Amino acid sequence: MRRAPCSCPARLLVSAAAVLAFACVSGSETETPAEITTPMIDSAFVIDPGTTFDAIGAARFGGLSGLAFDVATGNLLGISDDRENPRVFRLQVRESPFSIVPIGVIQLQGTPVALDPEALVVLPSGHLLVASEGVQNSEPRSPPGLFEYTSDGVFQNTLDLRERFLPPLTGPITRGVRGNSSFEALTVSVDGNRLFVGLETALAQDGEPATFDRGARARILEYNRKGSIFSPGREWMYELEPLPRPTYKPGLMINGLVELVALDSSHLLALERSFIEDADDPAHSMNRIQLYRVALDGGDDVSAVESIAGRVDLTPLPKQLLLDLDSAQGLPAALKASNLENFEGMAFGPAPPQGGRRLFIVSDDNFGKDQRTWFLRMTF
């Protein structure tokens, strides 16, 4: 028997006043641009491993796997995927010269299960919602989930989750999420009434992870606000790209959907990340980072389909490649020389003085001595 992450029914409360305020700050949900221009990198900033900041005390900086924008403070929030000490950093964006500086830390407290936090959003209420992959490499397994916290990190409750996403507590994973390949992406709609959650790769019953010859079938989940509660809604099939072929013998390989950002009422931005290690030289690797525009109106609802493996009668979400980071205009030479980095987080942030939108993406340094935390600022 599978257990939900929390023993009580999951409920997420949002006030109508907060939703209205959120929509006014974020923009109109009815605005739907036909196309968007190719994003350009206008600034970059890097934080080396081991860098300390007085404002966060003894908290170790790094492991940023998700970004969110806090409209109340004008700051970015970055979630650290440290299983032993899950936390969120408050990040101040400085304009000229461009830099991002940690100015505070929020410890996530009281969660009833072990977390592997990968993404977050700020809800209209001001609370934080965190997507966790769960912990699948020890038994009994800790389930994946969506967890709500106050703005200062105190656990409140858990969103309902359909049974198909929960792996067995013990034994082989024959259904549900795979280890370290679960709820990796999260965004909130412009009006605050919907959430979109992305799986990094296919559920066990939905097919195999991507290879060099074929992609994989992940899912994007929708949550709808009904009164004061967010409840599961539609699900869509999201087709991941095949892995790029390296010129060396491959070792560890990862390919998946790592972040989502709501673009307008019917489109998302999706960030896909591939990593291929050199089996003969683990210090050498290849990263591919691609940004897609995804149309929510073009795919079939698969919320009633337990397995999408091999189904040829289902239409995936249409997607359009906007940017391959390796060839992006404005990419720092240091990033290109290092075969990019492990970019996993993305969010719209403070608007430029002249108007328009800016997209921020961040790399997860995995707390490694040879990796860096890069922030890229893009303009549309």
Residue type, 11: R
The average confidence (pLDDT) of the chain is 90
Q: What is the pLDDT of residues 3-40, one digit of tens each?
A: 333 333 333 333 333 333 344 344 333 444 546 778 89
CA dist 110 and 113 (Å) reads 9
Q: For position 28, what pLDDT does the model report?
A: 37
Average pLDDT over residues 122-131: 95
- Residue 233: exposed, middle, or buried by beta-carbon count in 10 A (0-12, 13-18, 19+)? middle
pLDDT reported for residue 35? 61
CB under 8 A, 24+ apart: contacts of 277-282: 277/250, 277/251, 277/252, 277/253, 278/246, 278/248, 278/249, 278/250, 278/251, 279/248, 279/249, 279/250, 279/251, 280/248, 280/249, 281/248, 282/251
Predicted local distance difference test score (pLDDT) of residue 38: 85
**Structure confidence by residue, pLDDT tens digits, 308-360:** 999 999 999 999 999 999 999 999 999 998 889 999 999 999 988 888 899 99
Whose structure tokens read 């209205």?
20
Of the candidates 310, 322, 165, the residue with the CA atom closest to the CA atom of residue 232: 165
Secondary structure of residue 44 in the 3-state scheme: strand
Q: Which residue has the tokens 């790029």?
A: 244
Region of poorest pLDDT, from 209-213, 227-231, 365-369: 227-231
Asked whether the predicted pLDDT for residue 144 surpasses 60, the reply is yes
Q: pLDDT tens digits for 39-53?
A: 899 999 999 999 999
Q: Does residue 305 or residue 336 have the better pLDDT?
A: 305
The three-class DSSP label of residue 174 is: coil
pLDDT tens profile 240-295: 999 999 999 999 999 999 999 999 999 999 999 999 999 999 888 999 999 999 99
Q: How far is CA 42 from CA 130, 230, 303, 355, 365, in A?
A: 29, 37, 40, 15, 22
The yes-or-no verdict on residue 1 having pLDDT over 50 is no
Q: What is the pLDDT of residue 169?
A: 95
Is the omega angle on the peptide bond into residue 144 within 30 degrees of 0, that is, cis?
no
Burial code (b: 16+ CB inside 10 Å, e: under 16) for 272-286 equals bbbbbbbeeeeeebb
State yes or no: pLDDT of 230 exceeds 60: yes
Show the tokens assigned to 356: 């328009």
What was the pLDDT predicted at 12?
Answer: 36
* 49 SS3 class: coil
